[in-house]
Amino acid sequence: MIEIVLYQPEIPPNTGNIGRLCVCNDLRLHLIQPLGFSIEDKYLKRSGMDYWQHLKLNVHESFDALRKNLGFERKYWFFTTKAKSSIWETSFAKDDVLVFGPETRGLPAEILQQNQNYQVLIPMLSTNKRSLNLATSVGIASYEALRQIVSA
C-alpha cells in the first residue's frame, strides 16, 4: 500500500495523529531525521494513543537513505503549497510514496526542484491563508490516494 513520509517533522502531536491514521489504515510511516522531538515524547504517544505500539515505523537518516530503502523506481509525490497540480488531478497507485515537509517551512527547495513533475497541492478555498495543518494534509492526501486505489 502507500507509504507516508514526514521530512523532519517538528511537532509531536502532529506526528502522533499521523501515526494513528497510519495504524488505522495499515500504512507504514517513515520519519526523516532530524526530528524536532524524541519518538519517546509523551505528547507524541498521547496523540497516537494506544495505537503507537502497532505502528509500522521506519526512521531514516536522510531523504537519500529513504529512497535507497524504499527504491528509486517507486513514484514519490511531494505535497507543497508551491505545486501547480492539484490533488484532484493526481492519479495515485498502490506503492506510491506521499512525502510531506516540516510544519514551519515545508519541503526544501532542492527536493522540490528535483521533483517538479511530482508536486501536489491540496487546494484551499481561502486564498490568503498559508497552509493546512500537517496531520490534516496527510489525512486528506492518504484518504484520496486510498479512495483511488481501492475503487480502481
Q: What is the CATH number of domain 3-151?
A: 3.40.1280.10
Predicted pLDDT of residue 83: 95
Predicted pLDDT of residue 132: 93
Domain ranges of the chain: 3-151
CA dist 101 to 35, 42, 51, 105, 109, Å?
Answer: 12, 22, 23, 7, 11
Give all strands (DSSP E) within 8-150, no chain letters.
28-32, 56-60, 76-79, 97-100, 119-120
Q: Tell me the CA end-to-end span of the chain in Å, nearest whole number.
A: 13
Cell of 79: 505535497
- pTM of the entire predicted model: 0.94
12 burial via Cβ count (<10 Å: 0-12, 13-18, 19+): buried
Predicted pLDDT of residue 24: 94
What does the mean pLDDT of the chain come to? 92
| Amino acid at residue number 41 | D
Q: Which residues of the chain have pLDDT under 50?
A: none
Predicted pLDDT of residue 45: 65
